[in-house]
Amino acid sequence: MKAGKIVSAMMLGGLISTGAYATNGYFASGYGIQSQGMGGVSIAFPQDSLAAASNPASIGFLGDRLDVGVTYFQPNRSATLSNSGYGGQSMPSMNGSYDGNGTKSFWIPEFGITKAINKEFSVGLNVFGNGGMNTNYTARIPQFNGGTAQGTANNNTPGVNLEQMFISPTVSWKPIENQSLGVSLIYVNQTFSATGLGNFASPQASSSYKNVTDNGNSNSSGFGYQLGWLGKFTDYLSVGVRYQPKITMSSFGSYSGLFAGGGSFDIPETYGAGLAFNPTKDITLAADYQNIKYGNIPSIANPISNFNTAQLGSTNGPGFGWQNINVYKLGANWRINPSWAVRVGYNFNDQPIPSSQTLFNVLAPGVITQQASIGATYYIGKEYEISGFYARGFSQTVTGNYSAAGLTGTSSLNMHQDSLGLAFGWKY
């Protein structure tokens, strides 16, 4: 592949816009169609160029390849509010069940390319959606926009949309054979919008009440990095580790009265480790562990009870009350013959949303904790391959009582989801 074509491919990748709804909280369960067919496993078992998103050291073992894929994503989210009250008075009229599927499906593209410069150094580029969150309720919810707030915000149905795009150039170095170190520089662009939150767009509830809801899309950006190591100790055993510190993002200016810290919404710190074992030359069993520190980001982690002492948008303003979570990924890959490989996977994690934080999380019901997947790759000669996967995020419900800003009651959140993806790979 000529250098000019590589540059053109990288420029194409930079133009891809991605949005996603995710499984491990609001993070994606995995990166790359082949990884997603194995429950997101990738840290010690790189299969395509998107593996650099999980471990930058992996490109030292991938050679020259290009991957382009797309995932069709269909989440199903809903909420039920009961035992509702306001100002110490019972308010049965505020009870109800609500469908959050005004936007029913999403297309999520991905792009990756790697190039071995020599036996020691490799470079690559990834463009992918790290995750995201979307709700678009089909009816007004009294707790969010049934009060006396003025303006069009009170007439729109509640919902939020968060999209994250990562553009990540990577370099790896193999100081000795079968040992690779890697680093990725990361540029992140986030887009956020909120509608129908008129009850909270008041001087009493927010430090910047005109910047709470119905202000269209607001953008945020930031730079970070990721470090990784991957070692192949025998033909049967590989081990990898990766670390990505918190990425400090610019604020969502149009929503500075909603998120704690004046619209701050940083990317949480994450770290992980992986293991891959080959009982035979055609079968690989792999496992990843990941920790996501949602609990260290105020706008994500501050509990709704902070309403008792602080306004929305202030330094200690209320947030979504999410906790740090552990994520576990298990997968198996079987190369049946030179033309076909099949894979299965299972992904499970701690619940990020405590039962005491269900009111605000009507907007962000990322409650799924278990997902299973299957996948396959068809190899067309030695250069080309077509991969696909299907994943099911199993139905999960979190129910809890809330008391904040004069509102009391019980909120029950439910979500399940389906994903179907297809990718083309080229070993050039």
Q: Are 328 and 372 in contact (CB under 8 A)?
A: no
pLDDT digits (tens, 9 = 90+) for 313-348: 999 999 999 999 999 999 999 999 999 999 999 999
| Residue 164 pLDDT exceeds 80 | yes
Residues shown for the chain:
428
Q: Which two tokens stand for residue 166?
A: 């990562």
Q: What is the pLDDT of residues 289-307, one digit of tens each?
A: 999 999 999 999 999 999 9
Mean per-residue pLDDT over the chain, rounded: 93
Give the CA radius of gyration of the chain. Answer: 22
Residue 60 pLDDT level (bands cut at 50, 70, 90) = very high
Where residue 132 falls among pLDDT bands split at 50, 70, 90?
Answer: confident
In this predicted structure, the answer to whether residue 11 has a pLDDT above a threshold of 90 is no
* Cα–Cα distance for residue pair 347/280, rounded to 1 Å: 24
Q: Are 297 and 321 in contact (CB under 8 A)?
A: no
The model's confidence at residue 22, banded by pLDDT at 50, 70 and 90, is low
Confidence band, pLDDT 50/70/90 cuts, at residue 151: very low
Strand partners, 296: none
Its sign, for the CA torsion 400, 404, 409, 411, is negative
DSSP output for 237-298: EEEEEEEE--B-----GGGTTTSHHHH--PBPPEEEEEEEEEEETTEEEEEEEEEE-GGG-H
Tokens of 83: 């035992």
